[in-house]
């Protein structure tokens, strides 16, 4: 299993691809596929068949996954940063390499 510097709940910015510049919160990280689902980014239209849960069927817009290499974590000030790890009081914490603050 690969270790990712992005976790669900993090605010990230897309740094490459069609959705470059857009920001959102990470909903889910798909570790097996090296991808993450970001709220409001990479929206796709999915055609759904009528079912018991959705008797109407139709076209549903939902977020598609985006590769983690195209995402960068944002600091509290809203600037992109790389992530580092360090020990603080016998606890491993993530910190922003740009502002040196704990995430």
Residue 95, beta-bridge partner list? 84, 102
How far CA 8 is from CA of 21, 38, 49, 68, in Å, comes to: 19, 9, 30, 12
Residue 69 lies in a domain: yes
pLDDT per position as a tens digit, 86-100: 999 999 999 999 989
Domain that holds residue 64: 11-77
How far CA 17 is from CA of 72, 87, 92, in Å, comes to: 13, 35, 32
Residue 16 lies in a domain: yes
Residue 83 lies in a domain: no
Name, in order, each residue with C-beta under 8 angstroms of 101's C-beta and a sequence gap of 6 or more. Answer: 75, 76, 95
Residue 4 lies in a domain: no
CATH number at residue 65: 2.30.30.30
Q: Evaluate if residue 2 carries a pLDDT over 80.
A: no
pLDDT per position as a tens digit, 61-84: 999 999 999 999 999 888 999 999
Residue 93 lies in a domain: no
Q: What angle do CA 6, 15, 12 make, to 5 degrees?
A: 35
How far is residue 92's CA from residue 61's CA, in Å, rounded to a whole number? Answer: 38
Residue 100 lies in a domain: no
Residue 70 lies in a domain: yes
- Return the sign of the alpha-carbon dihedral for residues 16, 25, 27, 82: positive
Domain count, the chain: 1
Residue 53 lies in a domain: yes
């Amino acid at each position: 299993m690969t270790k990712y510097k992005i976790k669900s709940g993090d605010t990230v910015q897309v740094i490459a691809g069609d959705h470059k510049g857009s920001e959102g919160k990470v909903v889910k990280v798909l570790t097996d596929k090296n991808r993450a689902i970001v709220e409001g980014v990479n929206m796709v239209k999915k055609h759904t068949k009528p079912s018991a849960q959705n008797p109407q069927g139709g076209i549903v817009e939902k977020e598609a996954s985006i590769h983690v290499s195209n995402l960068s974590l944002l600091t509290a000030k809203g600037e992109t940063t790389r992530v580092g790890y360090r020990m603080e009081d016998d606890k491993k914490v993530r910190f922003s390499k740009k502002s040196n603050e704990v995430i």
